[in-house]
A and B are shown apart, each in its own frame.
Chain A
Amino acid sequence: MAVKKTRILIAKPGLDGHDRGAKFIARALRDEGYEVIYTGIRQTPEAIVQTAIQEDVDFVGLSLLSGAHNELFPRVVDLLAASGAGDIVVFGGGIIPEQDIPFLKDRGVAAIFGPGTTTKQIVEFLESARDSS
């Protein structure tokens, strides 16, 4: 039986339009052999969770550069859990101060990738998260 390909939703919650990073990651991960869906900008947490479930993804990658991550990232995690999709792994990136990372991890965000992250680092994270699930 063929192994199901890992599916990833790259999403932009909040109102900022900085999609350079999100689009790069989406394309780079696709080139690495993942199935990637990209939402476009200005998605509500509700819409992101709905898409994640519909598309039956294994990961949701959130990109946000406006500073609203402490409000919006945990909300995506909570809504996924409330919809019975708590097994979907959430990770994030953007302009996120170091000091906020413990809080976000505590609230269920598996990893945060800041500026300077390489595709390789993200692939390593995805592979180890998949193996451990």
Chain B
Amino acid sequence: MPEEIRKQKEEWERGTVEPLISRHPERMQTFVTGSDKPVNRLYLPEGYSEAEYLEKLGFPGQYPYTRGVQPTMYRGRLWTMRQYAGFGTAEESNRRYRYLLEQGQTGLSVAFDLPTQIGFDSDDPRAEGEVGKVGVAIDTLNDVEILFDAIPLDKISTSMTINAPAAILLAMYIAVAEKQGVGKQRLRGTIQNDILKEYVARGTYIFPPEPSMRLITDVFAYCSREVPLWNTISISGYHIREAGSDASQEVAFTLANGIEYVRAAIQVGLDVDEFAGRLSFFFNAHNDLLEEVAKFRAARRIWARIMKERFQATDPKSMMLRFHTQTGGSTLTAQQPDNNIVRVAIQALAAVLGGTQSLHTNSREEALALPAEESVRLALRTQQILAYEAGVTSTVDPLAGSYYLEALTDRIELEVWQYIDRIEALGGMIPSILKGYVQKQIQESAFRTQKDIEKGERVVVGINKFQMEEKKPLDLLRVDPAVRQLQIEKLSRVKARRNASRVQSALEQLRKGAKQIDVNLLPLILEAVREYATLGEICQLLREEFGEHRETIVL
């Protein structure tokens, strides 16, 4: 800090602040961020030298990308407005997608039900009660054909939240596109395909880490040749944060997972610049506006350095952290649900000020149920108001240079590196997960947060302050329990229609491939789904070959 400023600051504290505080104490002894980190009363210019500015911030679209991955950011193109949606049958979800597209949404994001995510068909006994509940039920290619009916896959980009069976859903998407006359080369979209965070936070794993990593690197390799515009993974901090981590942990564990994927791909012989440009990320946006903005900026800066220095990437695309954001589900309250509209607006603003590439805004009643159409529209309108009315899109990285924001960005960066070093010392992310280290860190933060809320030390409006009697609830969307029966009937019709011997032989080929480590499974899965092999059949076969993951319980 420049000397004269430092001197005058001391005088201001002694001469002005201290006498004032002795008469009128501040509201709290210490102020903290949403992640429980101390906040100073005032931030002052740290006086970046020219060299420091260029090293830490630089220019948008240039290393280290702190200020954004595109040179013109939203002046050039707005973020993709992409609402995560799907429930019930493929027919119902298709109607919701077409509605959202009519309302001005610019990309699709598919939610799958839990049996689909865990590799069970709708008629599996373990699917009882779950079919169509948290997303759309997919059993065969037939369902995906219905899901994208009359939606031109050459014009729209589609994100699919699918992890353990990601390769299967990608294959189904490719097969449907072919039927629409759209070649693989033109497909744009993302599969989540991020198994490591499933082990620590989200829970929809199937196979153990090693074969799971193989499926993931098979997707990297296949797409780099055949589906070049596809984002092959969405390395996700979102669920880590939802599970209770703080902002720095969200970035740290996500980037540590990213390191693991890059390392695995290099180990199987891929060149870093061949696949790294198609890696994408997914973060949460919580209520502490400035801490969240700083988090996104710090994440970009750290990832760029990891890719350049640790993995010797040379293509700038390999160093750019491109990310999707969703507003924070766990910040929503069941009490006074309209307050959530305001929370979502603040969180969405954080994502935009942080330079997100795409955004999902939650709906007000999501602490209670899946959102009704009207609430989803309001959530989408929130994005449109930010995009067209709030003025924050007119310049790149508008908060840069805020003394506070830059201090936060530096602080988060420092904490993230400490976690990454710790994880590396434990042997990388997979051993850290198997030992329960990552889960423990997340749970400690989650426990502390909830305790602070219960003690009233952390205020949540409508929960521990400003409560009121409420008139009874919004009209909630309900998924018809008959969905499972409909889905089971549809599945048995498809099974009756398909060529059983061709299905068998495609599955046999896949089994043979699974036994050989150097065979890319994608083309074999594609053959099987084209023959209408079910998702459950394919996953069962792979379970037999690969085994199943068992949770390390950490309390």
Q: Chain A: residues with CB nearer than 8 A to chain B?
A: 14-20, 23-24, 26-28, 30, 38, 40-42, 44, 66-72, 95, 97-99, 114-116, 118-120
Contact = CB atoms under 8 A, between A and B. Distances in A.
A7 to B, nearest CB: 15
B454 A66 contact: no
Contacts of A120: 454
A118 B452 CA distance: 11
A95 B367 contact: yes
Nearest to A73: B129
Interface of B: 114-115, 117-118, 126-130, 133-134, 198, 201-204, 242-244, 330, 333-335, 367-370, 443, 446-447, 450-451, 454, 463, 472-473, 476, 478-479, 481, 551, 553, 555
A60 to B, nearest CB: 17
A23 B472 contact: no
Contacts of A15: 114-115, 117-118, 126-127, 130, 204
Given A14-B114, A15-B114, A114-B334, A71 B368 contact: no
A23 B367 CA distance: 18
B333 A16 contact: no
Contact of B447 (A19, A24, A114): A24
A119 B454 contact: yes
A72 B473 contact: no
A66 B128 contact: no
A38 to B, nearest CB: 6
B334 A17 contact: no
B555 A16 contact: no
A97 B472 CA distance: 11
Chain B at the A interface: SS class: loop
B289 to A, nearest CB: 23
B330 A98 contact: no
A109 to B, nearest CB: 15
List 7 A-B pairs, minimum CB-CB distance, nearest first.
A17-B203, A71-B129, A68-B129, A15-B114, A67-B133, A115-B334, A40-B551
B123 to A, nearest CB: 15
9 contacts: A15-B118, A19-B243, A20-B244, A20-B446, A28-B447, A68-B129, A72-B128, A95-B369, A116-B333
Contacts of B243: 19-20
Contacts of A26: 555
Contacts of A20: 242-244, 330, 446
Nearest to B550: A40
B454 A41 contact: no
Which of B118, B128, B478 is most buried by chain A, counting CB atoms within 10 A of its CB? B128
B369 A27 contact: no
Contacts of A69: 129
A23 B203 contact: no
B134 A72 contact: no
Contact of A17 (B204, B446, B553): B204
B383 to A, nearest CB: 24
A17 B367 contact: no
Contacts of B129: 14, 66-72
Given A18-B203, A40-B553, A98 B130 contact: no
Contact of A97 (B204, B447, B450, B476): B476
Nearest to A118: B454
Which of B126, B129, B133, B368 is most buried by chain A, counting CB atoms within 10 A of its CB? B129
B242 A68 contact: no
Contact of B203 (A16, A71, A98, A115): A16
A97 B126 contact: no
A27 B130 contact: no
B472 A38 contact: no
Contacts of B242: 18, 20
Nearest to A39: B553
Contact of A16 (B114, B334, B450, B481): B114
A70 B128 CA distance: 11
A114 B333 CA distance: 10
Contacts of A17: 198, 201-204
A24 B452 CA distance: 13
A23 B321 CA distance: 32
B128 A42 contact: no
Contact of A44 (B126, B333, B551, B553): B126
Contacts of A66: 114, 129-130, 133-134
Which of A40, A44, A72 is most buried by chain B, counting CB atoms within 10 A of its CB? A40
B130 A68 contact: yes
A71 B335 CA distance: 26
Contacts of B334: 114-116
Given A14-B130, A42-B203, A68-B128, A95 B454 contact: no
A95 B114 contact: no
A116 B443 contact: no
Which of B130, B242, B451 is most buried by chain A, counting CB atoms within 10 A of its CB? B130
A29 B232 CA distance: 42
Given A40-B551, A99-B476, 9 more contacts: A14-B130, A15-B127, A24-B447, A42-B203, A66-B133, A67-B130, A71-B129, A72-B128, A97-B368
A23 B555 contact: yes
A116 B130 contact: no
Contacts of A97: 368-369, 473, 476, 478
Nearest to B451: A28
Contacts of A98: 368, 472-473
Contact of A23 (B202, B333, B443): B443
A38 B553 contact: yes
B194 to A, nearest CB: 13
A95 B370 CA distance: 10
Nearest to B449: A24
A118 B453 CA distance: 9
B368 A68 contact: no
Contact of A24 (B202, B446, B479, B481): B446
Contacts of A116: 333-335, 463
Contacts of B118: 15, 42
B162 to A, nearest CB: 14
Nearest to B552: A40
Contacts of B479: 67
Nearest to B332: A115
B89 to A, nearest CB: 15
Contacts of A99: 473, 476
